[in-house]
Amino acid sequence: MYDLLIMPFAEYGFMARALLVLLALSVGAGAVGVLVNLRDLEFISDGLVHAVFPGVAVGAVFFSNDGITLGAAIAGTVAAVVLTVAATRFGTADAPVAVVLTAAFSLGVVVVSTSSYPGQLESLLFGQLLGVHLDQVRDTAVIAVVVLVMLGLTRRAQLFRAFDPDGAQAAGYRPLATDLVLNLAIALVIVAGSRVMGNLLVLAILIVPAAAARNLTRTLAPMALGAMVIAGLGSWLGLSVAFDASMRRDLSLSPSGTVVLSFIALYALSLVWRGAMWVLGRRRAGRMPQPHPDAPRPAAAVTHIPEEA
């Protein structure tokens, strides 16, 4: 067990850096992912992922790896503003997201095709998790803190908007500002994750752990904490499996892919837990004593108090 779960991160710096960057990403993605799940914003998040890709591509092709974060941040900010305004103005963002998704991703592929480096597209789509540097760990940690601050400052508006949109607007919370903060937070997580896990796989750490946490609890704070823990645990297990397969079994597995599959496995376990709790609840309800059909019924509650004469 030590050789599988501890030794790779204790003895190899590249494994330790990969785990640290994923743990930092898990914090930001866990907090944002819960709100994405509660508000059914998975499709918009997917649109933001693809909208970030041309920025990643331009930064990588024209400014090497140093320009990826800046290009992704600019593209993500523009996309977040456009999609937020579209959703607020027209009531739905499905059509704009679909247009952005296809157009942006195609533009990114065209830009990358101009590069002389043949493996550029693959590295941008699937990431270079084992090539993470300390500055990327630092940048991801900073982004996670910024995301937590953004959501913390708007937490009341975000929760009100998630559970009662009409009530939130009536209470004075502006939907455009609230949604813009959330979409910018989503874009920041995507920017941080794109350099690590690749553009195609970053959506998994944003969506899957939060969905798994919702199967385990219905309370918001434990749900957010659970999403962070599940994302961190899945990252640890996925990296361990990839390392073991490469070093001991002569199998070259994608670390990002094994991490995502670990998220899926944990999500499946959460479904099993939820099903077991449902069955247990049904059995307990069936064992509760039922009133005899001939037993007198309780008096009806008083619904009207007559006025005094």
Structure confidence by residue, pLDDT tens digits, 138-184 = 989 999 999 999 999 999 999 888 888 888 888 888 888 999 999 99
CB 184 within 8 A of CB 80: yes
303 within domain boundaries: no
Q: What pTM was computed for the model?
A: 0.83
Q: Where is pLDDT greater, at 288 or 236?
A: 236
pLDDT band at 214 (very low <50, low <70, confident <90, very high): very high
Cα separation, 39 vs 195, in Å, equals 27
Mean pLDDT (the chain) is 84
For 166, the token pair is 């009409």
75 within domain boundaries: yes
276 within domain boundaries: yes
* Percent of the chain at pLDDT exceeding 90: 37
Mean pLDDT over 102-115 rounds to: 79
Q: What CATH number does the domain containing 111 carry?
A: 1.10.3470.10
State residue 152's pLDDT score.
93
Q: Where is pLDDT greater, at 28 or 88?
A: 28
Residue with tokens 């199998």: 251
Angle among Cα 197, 233, 222 to the nearest 5 degrees reads 110
CA distances for 144 relative to 78, 185, 247, angstroms: 20, 9, 32
Which range, 7-16, 62-71, 170-179, is most confident?
Answer: 7-16
Cα separation, 240 vs 263, in Å, equals 13
Angle among Cα 182, 185, 190 to the nearest 5 degrees reads 130
State residue 289's pLDDT score.
61
Segment among 110-124, 184-198, 293-307 with least mean pLDDT: 293-307
295 within domain boundaries: no
Helix (H) or strand (E) holding 146: helix 134-153
125 within domain boundaries: yes
Which range, 65-74, 261-270, 286-295, is most confident?
Answer: 261-270
101 within domain boundaries: yes
For 207, half-sphere exposure in the C-beta direction (CA atoms, 13 angstrom radius) is 16
What residue numbers bound the domain in which 157 lies? 2-284
Mean pLDDT over 57-63 rounds to: 79
Cα separation, 25 vs 236, in Å, equals 13
DSSP E strand boundaries for 108-218? none
CB 189 within 8 A of CB 25: yes
Q: How many domains does the chain have?
A: 1
Burial 150-184 (b: 16+ CB within 10 A, else e): bbeebeebbebbbeeeeebeeeebebeebbbbbbb
61 within domain boundaries: yes
Q: Is the pLDDT of residue 271 over 60?
A: yes
107 within domain boundaries: yes
Which range, 74-78, 108-112, 132-136, 233-237, is most confident?
Answer: 233-237
